[in-house]
Amino acid sequence: MTAPAPHQRPVAVLDTVKAVLWSFIGLRRRADFEQDVQRLNPIAVLATGVVLAFLFVIVLMLIARWVVATA
């Protein structure tokens, strides 16, 4: 039996979010990275990265508005 194509792998939401957050920080062991490449769905990783980056920008904007409003 052959392994499914990377884009047909099941989506493990928590594992995907964890991998994306570690990549944002830039701290990840090589072995963990290789394991993620083998088992995570690349489309889910891309979508999660875009959503989390968008949320990060929104949080930064809200913090900036709060700081400016209280000054």
> pLDDT tens-digit profile of 25-69?
988 888 988 888 888 999 999 999 999 999 999 999 999 999 999
- State residue 51's pLDDT score: 97
Q: Are 16 and 48 in contact (CB under 8 A)?
A: yes
What is the value of pTM for the model shown?
A: 0.80
Of 33, 40, 46, 37, the C-alpha closest to 12 is: 40
The residue written with tokens 């920080």 in the block is 25
Please name the amino acid found at residue 1: M
Q: What is the pLDDT of residue 62?
A: 97
